[in-house]
Chain A
Amino acid sequence: MKELLIIAIGSAMVNNVVLSQFLGLCPFFGVSKKIDTAAGMGGAVIFVITLSSFVVSLIYKFILVPTNSTYLQTIVFILIIAALVQFVEMFLKKAMPPLYQSLGVYLPLITTNCAVLGVALTNVQKEYGILSSTINGLATAVGFCIAIVILAGLREKMETNDIPKSFQGFPHVLLTACLMAIAFFGFSGLI
């Protein structure tokens, strides 16, 4: 139990997926204009990463390892993730229309979110079991959600600010991310 907690805090805070691992930067910068869209994206990412780390670790353990074909992991993982996202989209559309309404737009964007593949590969690299992989996936995604919602909040506040012309657009968002990354260094004492 204690190990799982350490994995969770480590992935969500200390090694935050965006601010220290640089995974999932595209949605982090692209969808962080408003708090509600950011939260929607965060929710969709939590859903997909948790599910995909579970499915990927199942397939790794029960198909790739026994058949001695772990060298195929990159190809297999990316295909599983792409198929899973499509499947989740179709399932939600049929079975849970309200949830699909709120998450649906973000789902197709997630296939190319490198955080999903990154988590799957980290789980294999660190030799996590199925439970630890799922927890790690969930915690990583929660870390992503925290970071993107904070950034969106900051950007909403900065909207009315008077920013120097050269720093408008992309540069000031990068600077904000830089300050957030420094702040997240404060968590490194936790473990």
Chain B
Amino acid sequence: MQKNTPAERLYNGIIGENPTFALMLGMCPTLAVTTSGINGIGMGLTTTVILTMSNMLISILRKAIPDKVRMPAFIVVVASFVTIVQFLLQGFLPSLNAALGIYIPLIVVNCIILGRAESYASKNKVIPSIFDGIGMGLGFTLSITLLGLLREFLGAGTLFNVDILGKAGYEPITIFILAPGAFLVLAFMAAFQNKFNLGAAKRGIDPSNSVSCGASCASCGNTMCKGRRS
């Protein structure tokens, strides 16, 4: 596929470099809000909107932002969009806003967004950047919805709040919607990925690098990182 076309960007975000499964980015919201499928979709789409908008604006401003202050500039752009989206959610979807709570403002420090700003939007034209944002966002949405559905199914016997197993006399394993269940489900998903060599779950932690943020430097936005300086 030709590089930097809209279709290629979408494919890359959803399958090629899926932020959750291939790059192991944005772990905090991935584990925290996936207690149900609906929360997963809500968080994923919120992130997609913010990611697309910030990619667009950063790409437009990429020649105007001086190289030295680009990280603070990116953070301000992302934080502004997060604030806007947070108020929209408060106004129009109060129940989703209550369910996601503190994790909406925390999208600011989601490494997917700063990572894409740094590694893609600040170097590419506007249209591919927009589609890069949409693709990455949808990839993120798909993976966390999948995680949410799995946890909801095992932990409550429902899918998208529709009762599936309750009538069959299924006793829900509540631990799956509690905190440990998040680690457990993700551990098994990553193990499956290792087993069938679907991408690089091992990339999440590079044993050779003791001081790292997950060692996915290529897509990480933290330019203050010592590993990158050298």
Contacts and interface: CB of A to CB of B under 8 A. Distances in A.
Interface of A: 19-27, 29-31, 33-34, 37, 71-75, 78-79, 82, 105-106, 108-109, 111-114, 117-118, 121-122, 125, 165-175, 177-179, 181-182, 185
6 contacts: A22-B28, A30-B213, A33-B205, A114-B28, A170-B202, A174-B183
Q: Taking chain A's interface residues, is the majority helix, strand, or loop, or is none over half, making it mixed?
A: helix
B75 A79 contact: yes
Interface string B49-83: 00000000000000000000001100110011011
Interface stretch (B4-12, B122-130, B134-142, B187-195): B187-195
Contacts of A71: 83, 87
A30 B82 contact: no
A36 to B, nearest CB: 9
Given A167-B194, A174-B190, A112 B204 contact: no
Nearest to B106: A114
Nearest to B104: A74
Given A75-B83, A178-B184, A26 B76 contact: no
B117 to A, nearest CB: 13
Contacts of A118: 102, 106
Nearest to B24: A170
A22 B201 contact: no
A56 B113 CA distance: 24
B224 A171 contact: no
Interface residues of B, number: 55
B111 A112 contact: yes
A75 B195 contact: no
B106 A79 contact: no
B167 interface: no
Contacts of B31: 22, 25
B201 A170 contact: yes
B180 interface: yes
A73 B183 CA distance: 31
B109 interface: yes
A137 to B, nearest CB: 15
A182 B180 contact: yes
B41 interface: no
B96 interface: no
B13 interface: no
Interface in B78-105: 79-80, 82-83, 86-87, 102, 105
Given A25-B31, A29-B204, A29-B214, A108 B184 contact: no
Interface in B204-229: 204-205, 207, 210-215, 221-222, 224-226
Contacts of A82: 71-72, 75
A169 B202 contact: yes
B85 to A, nearest CB: 10
